């Protein structure tokens, strides 16, 4: 499928609970686009840049090429006043290049540099401009139970379905909210892309995940600059030689 067809199939404005997104296509082939995220009162919250790239689907015969979006280019996040809070660069979905965090008055709070997702240098400043020790800028969601218990649970619940439906891959993307709850679940399978039984079974399995610790949610939320944020947590499942292998994000 041509890039123009892919790009034009993406809705210009997408409504969500509490915010909406506006897409603007860039470049002669429209293979780049920006996503501007606005709060319900139309306050601009952030702007991200993406690129559509080719990805081979090995689960079809012959193998097919799909267009997938990758985080590529500049991202900006804003204070409610419109002042820039954070600016950074992405390359192939990971931080690559400078990252700068600002105080509300526009002075620099943190300056970092990344290469292929790895932090190279970091300097932090007080509101008065003096150097200070840097705390952790970003922390991914943390599963609060034992990872092997979650792996066994998912494999046991999904093994029979995967064998019966000849499922070779499952990707489960959990959206973990600021409290550590699962706010949303997305299911994808390249080998069985339209299998409604697979999707419903995975959703039921996720909903039935037991609490590993009494009176506590299963995840510690992600944080950005010390503030809890909503973030994705992706589980990859592969079936090899009749067995399911579950891969969790690094903690």
Residue 101 φ/ψ region, left for φ over 0, alpha for ψ in the -120 to 50 degree band, beta for the rest: beta
Question: Could you give the CA distance from residue 42 to residue 37 in angstroms, rounded to a whole number?
Answer: 9
Query: What pLDDT is recorded for position 13?
Result: 84
12-26 pLDDT tens trace:
888 877 889 999 988
Query: What pLDDT is recorded for position 10?
Result: 55
| Residue 157, SS3 per DSSP | helix
The model's pTM: 0.73
115-149 pLDDT tens trace:
998 999 999 999 999 999 998 898 999 999 999 99
Mean of the pLDDT values across residues 163-192? 92
Query: What pLDDT is recorded for position 233?
Result: 95
CA distances from 18 to 13, 15, 21, 45, 144 (A): 14, 8, 11, 12, 28
Handedness of CA 206, 251, 170, 238 (dihedral sign): negative
Q: Retrieve residue 187's tokens.
A: 């299911």
Read off the pLDDT band of 7 (50, 70, 90).
very low
Query: What pLDDT is recorded for position 61?
Result: 63
Query: What pLDDT is recorded for position 1?
Result: 32
Mean of the pLDDT values across residues 167-184? 94
184-227 pLDDT tens trace:
999 999 888 878 899 999 999 999 999 988 889 999 999 988 88
Mean of the pLDDT values across residues 74-93? 95
Query: What pLDDT is recorded for position 26?
Result: 84
Q: Retrieve residue 21's tokens.
A: 């997104």
24-78 pLDDT tens trace:
988 777 788 999 999 999 999 999 999 988 776 666 666 666 777 889 999 999 9
pLDDT greater than 70 at residue 11: no
Residue count of the chain, please give it. 251
Asked if 1 and 67 touch (Cβ cutoff 8 Å), the reply is yes
């Amino acid at each position: 499928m041509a890039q123009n067809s892919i790009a034009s199939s993406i809705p210009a404005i997408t409504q969500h609970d509490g915010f909406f997104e506006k897409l603007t296509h860039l470049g002669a082939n429209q293979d780049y686009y920006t996503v501007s995220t606005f709060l319900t009162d139309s306050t601009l919250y952030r702007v991200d840049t993406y690129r559509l790239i080719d990805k081979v689907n090995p689960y079809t015969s012959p193998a097919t090429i799909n267009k997938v979006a990758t985080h590529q280019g500049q991202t900006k996040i804003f204070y409610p006043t419109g002042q820039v809070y954070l600016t950074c660069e992405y390359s192939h979905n990971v931080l690559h290049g400078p990252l700068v965090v600002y105080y509300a008055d526009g002075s620099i709070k943190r300056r970092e540099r990344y290469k292929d997702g790895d932090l190279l240098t970091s300097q932090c400043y007080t509101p008065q401009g003096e150097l200070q020790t840097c705390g952790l800028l970003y922390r991914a969601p943390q599963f609060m139970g034992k990872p092997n218990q979650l792996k066994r649970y998912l494999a046991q619940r999904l093994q029979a379905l995967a064998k019966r439906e000849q499922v070779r891959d499952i990707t489960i993307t959990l959206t973990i909210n600021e409290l550590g709850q699962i706010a949303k679940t997305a299911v994808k399978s390249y080998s069985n892309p339209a299998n409604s039984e697979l999707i419903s079974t995975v959703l039921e399995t996720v909903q039935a995940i037991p609490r590993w610790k009494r009176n506590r949610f299963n995840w510690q939320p992600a944080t950005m600059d010390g503030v809890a944020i909503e973030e994705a947590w992706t589980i990859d499942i592969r079936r090899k030689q009749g067995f399911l292998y579950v891969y969790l994000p690094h903690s």
